Amino acid sequence: VHMCFVFQATSGGGGWPMSVWLTPDLKPFAGGTYFPPEDGIHRVGFRTVLLRIAEQWKENKDALLESSQRILEALRHTSEIRVQGQESPPPAKEVMDTCFQQLSRSYDEDYGGFSKSPKFPTPVNLNFLFTYWALHRKTPEGAQALQMALHTLKMMAHGGIHDHIGQGFHRYSTDQHWHVPHFEKMLYDQGQLAAMYSRAFQISGDEFFADVVRDILLYVSRDLSDQAGGFYSAEDADSYPTTTSGEKREGAFCVWAAEELQALLPDPVEGATEGTTLGDVFMHHYGVEEAGNVDPMKDPHQELKGKNVLIARCSMELTAARFGLEPGRLSTLLQECRQRLSSARAQRPRPHLDTKMLAAWNGLMISGFAQAGAALAEQEYVNRAAQAAAFLRTHLFDPDSRRLLRSCYRGKDNSVEQNAVPIQGFLEDYVFVIQALFDLYEASLEQGWLEWALHLQHMQDKLFWDPKGFAYFSTEAGNSSLVLRLKDDQDGAEPTPNSIAVTNLLRAACYSGNMDWVEKAGKILAAFSERLQKIPITLPEMVRATAVFHHTLKQVVICGDPQGEDTKEMLRCVHSVFSPNKV
pLDDT tens figures, 244-284: 999 999 999 999 999 999 999 999 999 888 889 999 999 99
Q: Looking at residues 538-562, what average pLDDT do you find?
A: 94
**8-state DSSP, 423:** P
pLDDT computed for residue 488 by the predictor: 82
Does residue 425 register a pLDDT over 70?
Answer: yes
Most confident of 48-52, 103-107, 481-485, 562-566: 103-107
Q: 432: how many CB neighbours lie within 10 A of its CB?
A: 27
pLDDT of amino acid 247: 94
Q: CA-to-CA distance for 470 and 530, rounded, in angstroms?
A: 14
Residues pairing with 169 in the sheet: 162
For residue 357, the model assigns a pLDDT of 98
Q: What is the mean pLDDT of the chain?
A: 92
> Residue 158 is which amino acid?
H
Q: Kindly tell me if the per-residue pLDDT of 75 is higher than 90.
A: no
Residue 307, pLDDT above cutoff 90:
yes
* CB proximity list for 227: less than 8 A, separation 6 or greater: 414
Domain ranges in the chain? 1-79, 245-350
Give CA–CA dist 409/404, Å, rounded: 15
Of residues 61 and 427, the one with the higher pLDDT is 427
Q: Which residues pair with 30 in a beta bridge?
A: 21
Q: Which residue has the higher pLDDT, 543 or 274?
A: 543
Strands 403-404 and 416-417: unpaired
pTM (two decimals): 0.91
The yes-or-no verdict on residue 576 having pLDDT over 90 is: yes
| pLDDT at 18 (0 to 100) | 76
Cβ within 8 Å of residue 161, ≥6 positions away: 119, 121, 169, 170, 172, 173, 178, 179, 181
CATH number of 1-79: 3.40.50.10190, 3.40.30.10, 2.40.160.10, 3.40.50.720? 3.40.30.10
- pLDDT score, position 521: 97
**Per-residue pLDDT at 63:** 79
- What is the per-residue pLDDT for 199? 98
Instruction: List the single range of 47-51, 130-134, 164-168 with lowest mean pLDDT.
Output: 47-51
Query: What's the pLDDT at 485?
Result: 67
Confidence of residue 3 (pLDDT cuts 50, 70, 90): low
Q: What is the pLDDT of residue 15?
A: 63
Q: What is the pLDDT of residue 555?
A: 93
* pLDDT the model gives residue 152: 98
pLDDT surpasses 90 at 43: no
Cα distance between residue 145 and residue 153, in whole Å: 13
- What mean pLDDT is predicted for residues 522-546? 95
The total number of residues written for the chain in this structure: 583
CB neighbour class for 346 (10 Å; exposed up to 12, middle 13-18, buried from 19): exposed
* Residue 4 binned pLDDT confidence (cut-offs 50, 70, 90): low
pLDDT in tens, 222-245: 999 999 999 999 999 999 999 999
How confident is the model at residue 118, as a pLDDT? 92
User: Which of these, 165, 172, 156, lies nearest to 209 by C-alpha position?
Assistant: 156
pLDDT at position 13 is 56
pLDDT, tens digit (0-9, with 9 covering 90-100), for 463-514 = 999 998 889 998 887 665 565 667 788 899 999 999 999 999 999 999 999 9
Helices (H) and strands (E) in the chain, counts: 21, 14
Give the tens place of pLDDT for each residue, 92-112: 999 999 999 999 999 999 999
The whole-angstrom separation of Cα 366 and Cα 356 is 16
The residue ranking higher by pLDDT, 167 or 57, is 167
Q: Is the pLDDT of residue 427 over 90?
A: yes
Any idea what DSSP says for residue 425? P
Q: In three state form, how does the secondary structure of 509-524 look?
A: HHHHCCCHHHHHHHHH
CA-nearest of 164, 208, 176, 147 to 312 is 164
Query: pLDDT tens, 10-40?
Result: 545 556 677 888 888 777 777 777 778 887 7
Q: Per-residue pLDDT averaged across 204-215, rounded?
A: 98
pLDDT above 90 covers a percentage of the chain that reads 76
User: Which has the minimum average pLDDT: 130-139, 191-200, 367-376, 482-491?
Assistant: 482-491
What are the CA-CA distances from residue 220 to residues 364, 443, 511 (Å)? Answer: 12, 19, 31
The answer to whether the beta carbons of residues 156 and 215 sit under 8 Å apart is: no
R_g of the chain computed on alpha carbons: 25
pLDDT at 80: 67
Is 80 exceeded by the pLDDT of residue 358? yes
Residue 243's DSSP bridge partners are: none
